């Protein structure tokens, strides 16, 4: 996507997203969106759509140790398995268990997956207004007890990003993947 196309997409999506109540802006150098988001936010601040102090703007760090040293919160990246991306392969939202649980309260598998992670700091990514709205609709219901047990035992769990880039046997803070994940690999 050309920079001008990326800027146009951000300009189209962010005002509506912020008006829905979204206050977390997720940036990273690898996303290539910092300049576009900066330009959009500058415009929205000037138009008094939102104030800077009302937003939580994050970027990615390359060191988990920095998070611990400065008492920063570690957030769950890709809590829905990054459907539609080429670098992570996951079918978590196609789980028959999620579909079964979603049916009873009239929710979607996405909403059930997000609701299960309540109490954790997660970052579901979307540029679609309908999916952003869907992601917000997880606060006024709970998973029925009989189905919660089913989710707890029958849903497949997987670590999609193993963290190999944080491991170096000679010079790294972590010498092995087992050390990075405290044996829970």
Q: What is the H or E stretch that residue 58 is in?
A: strand 56-58
Q: Say how many domains are in the chain.
A: 2
- Per-residue tokens: 149: 């047990």
Tell me the pLDDT tens digit for each residue of 134-152.
888 888 888 878 887 777 7
For residue 183, the model assigns a pLDDT of: 62
**pLDDT higher than threshold 60 for residue 171:** yes
Would you state the pLDDT for residue 107? 92
Q: Are residues 53 and 107 in the same domain?
A: no
- Is the per-residue pLDDT at 72 higher than 70? no
Average pLDDT of the chain is: 75
Question: Angle CA(171)–CA(175)–CA(60) in degrees, nearest 5?
Answer: 75
CA dihedral 76, 45, 135, 126 (to 10 degrees): -70
Residue 110 lies in a domain: yes
Domain that holds residue 3: 1-60
Domain contains 23: yes
Residue 142 lies in a domain: yes
Residue 121 lies in a domain: yes
**4 and 50 in a common domain:** yes
The total number of residues written for the chain in this structure: 185
Least confident interval from 88-92, 93-97, 104-108: 88-92
* Residue among 64, 13, 6 nearest 34 (CA): 6
Domain shared by 103 and 53, yes or no: no
Residues 149 and 84 in one domain: yes
* Sequence-distant (≥ 6) Cβ neighbours of residue 150 within 8 angstroms: 97, 100, 101
- The residues, any chain, with a CB within 8 Å of residue 9's CB and separated by 6 or more, are 1, 127
Here the tokens at position 111 are 């909403």
pLDDT at 81 over 60: yes
Selecting among 14, 31, 153, 174, the annotated active-site residue is 31
Same domain, 88 and 144: yes
pLDDT of residue 106: 92
Q: What average pLDDT score do residues 2-10 get? A: 57
**What pLDDT shows up at residue 152?**
72
Q: Is residue 7 located within the same domain as residue 47?
A: yes
Kindly report which listed range (11-25, 58-72, 102-116) carries the lowest average pLDDT score.
58-72
Minimal CA–CA distance to 133: which of 114, 118, 116?
Answer: 114
Active site residue 174: no
Query: Facing residues of 123 across strands?
Result: 77
**48 vs 166, which has greater pLDDT?**
48
Quick check: is 50 in a domain?
A: yes
Same domain, 105 and 36: no
């Amino acid at each position: 996507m050309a920079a001008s196309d990326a800027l146009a997409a951000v300009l189209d999506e962010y005002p509506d997203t912020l008006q829905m109540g979204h206050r977390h802006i997720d940036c990273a150098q690898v996303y290539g969106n910092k300049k576009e988001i900066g330009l959009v936010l500058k415009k929205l601040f000037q138009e008094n759509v939102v104030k800077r102090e009302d937003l939580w703007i994050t970027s990615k760090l390359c060191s988990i140790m920095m998070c611990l040293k400065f008492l920063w919160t570690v957030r769950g990246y890709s809590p829905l398995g990054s459907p539609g991306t080429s670098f992570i392969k996951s079918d978590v939202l196609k789980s028959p268990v999620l579909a079964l649980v979603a049916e009873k309260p009239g929710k979607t598998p996405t909403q059930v997956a997000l609701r299960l992670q309540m109490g954790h700091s997660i970052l579901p990514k979307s540029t679609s207004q309908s999916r952003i709205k869907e992601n917000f609709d997880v606060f006024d219901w709970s998973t029925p007890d009989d189905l919660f047990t089913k989710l707890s035992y029958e849903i497949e769990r997987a670590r999609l990003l193993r963290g190999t880039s944080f491991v170096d046997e000679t010079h790294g803070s972590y010498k092995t993947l087992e050390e990075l994940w405290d044996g829970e690999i």
